[in-house]
Amino acid sequence: MRKLYSILRGFFAIIGILSSVAIILFWAKKDDFTISVDSLYSLYEQRVDTLRAAGSFEPDTANFSFTIIQDTLQAKKIKEYFCLDTLYSWSDDTWTKALAIGNFVATNIPHANQTKWPEQKNAIGLWEYTRDVEPAFNCRLHSILTFELLLAADIPARFVTCLPQDKDDNDCHVVNEVWLPEKQKWVMLDTDMGGHYVTDKQGNLLSLREIREHYVGGKKMLMYPEFKNGSNKMNYYYAYLAKDTYWFQCWGTMSYFQEEWNKEDVVRNSYIVLVPKGFEPFNIGGGNTITTNADLFWSEPKILLK
């Protein structure tokens, strides 16, 4: 009997140890994220290999710059409508303010492929669409809404279309990038699919360019699902973003009502299309500026007051 008791006690001790280890590993993974070996791993590796096989980004003859036009009257209207000043303190740094806005959008508007396209694609119109028509929409509309809120808070920003190498893949992703004057760099902010941003292993915020470079270099990235609407699909997102960082598009000039085509006084200019050397972009139409110059694409934007 004593022998049986001893065996049972040893058995339950082992179970206890294994349970403790499982709990520790679970909570450790809540603080940061790296890709794990699961059903998505082979897909992730394939997509990263595609990035590694791409041509380089290098200076060329294209001459362009990014311009952000600030309309102070529209900024005031949006700031008052959304009570933006209640989301952050006036003394907060740029990233803290941007993160508060990102949290607000991600918390209130989940992802969905809307069944009815909004008639108004501006911050107030999109917000009212989610209250009156459908409660959610896709990444592009997420990014347009977030862009206008950031701009109304005097935060330089832009929304960037991130595209795959495969011309038969009709899926792309649209995210925001925020210009941080304190660090003189762009950083990625995604309010869709739960809300995400990415850092290196030291905690330094990363731009889309740096995220792509980390994929190619096999460097560790930490992905932060710090927004509040319950996203738990981090492995999927990590592999998904690897697919859609092959090449990029962004308007050369950006302001409010950017993609409301009935607003004829909006200055849009052309798309700036950044591609790796030797790659032919597809489905872009005419009148665009195509470049391999990543330094210029990720340079400081010009700010104009209207």
Domains of the chain, residue spans: 32-305
Burial of 292 (0-12, 13-18, 19+ CB in 10 A): buried
Paired with 67 in beta bridges are 253, 302
pLDDT for residue 33 is more than 50: no
Q: Could you tell me if 58 and 297 are in contact, meaning their C-beta atoms sit under 8 angstroms apart?
A: no
When mean pLDDT is compared across 30-39, 186-195, 256-265, 290-299, the lowest value belongs to 30-39
Per-residue model confidence as pLDDT tens digits over 128-142: 999 999 999 999 999
Task: Indicate the average pLDDT of the chain.
Answer: 87
67, 253 contact by CB (below 8 A): yes
Tell whether pTM > 0.75.
yes
Q: What percentage of the chain exceeds 90 in pLDDT?
A: 75
In which region does residue 176 sit, left (phi positive, over 0), alpha (psi from -120 to 50) or beta (all else)?
A: beta
Here the tokens at position 217 are 């270099």
Instruction: Write the CB contacts of 152 (distance below 8 Å, at least 6 apart in sequence).
Output: 74, 75, 76, 78, 79, 82, 84, 123
Query: At residue 30, does pLDDT exceed 80?
Result: no
Looking at the chain, the whole-number percentage of residues with pLDDT higher than 70 is 84
Edge-to-edge strand order for the sheet containing 185-189? Answer: 185-189, 173-180, 157-163, 247-251, 271-274, 289-291
| SS3 of residue 256 by DSSP | coil
Say whether pLDDT at 4 is over 60: no
CA–CA separation, 107 and 214 (whole Å):
28
Q: In the prediction, which pLDDT does 141 show? A: 98
Tell me the C-alpha distance between 298 and 301, whole Å: 8
- Confidence at 40, pLDDT banded by 50, 70, 90: low
Burial of 154 (0-12, 13-18, 19+ CB in 10 A): middle
**Long-range contacts made by residues 184-191, C-beta under 8 angstroms, separation at least 24?**
184/300, 185/298, 186/298, 187/95, 189/98, 189/99, 189/102, 189/146, 189/157, 190/102, 190/139, 191/102, 191/105, 191/106, 191/109, 191/142, 191/143, 191/145, 191/146, 191/227
Which has the closest alpha carbon to 192: 152, 120, 133, 138? 138
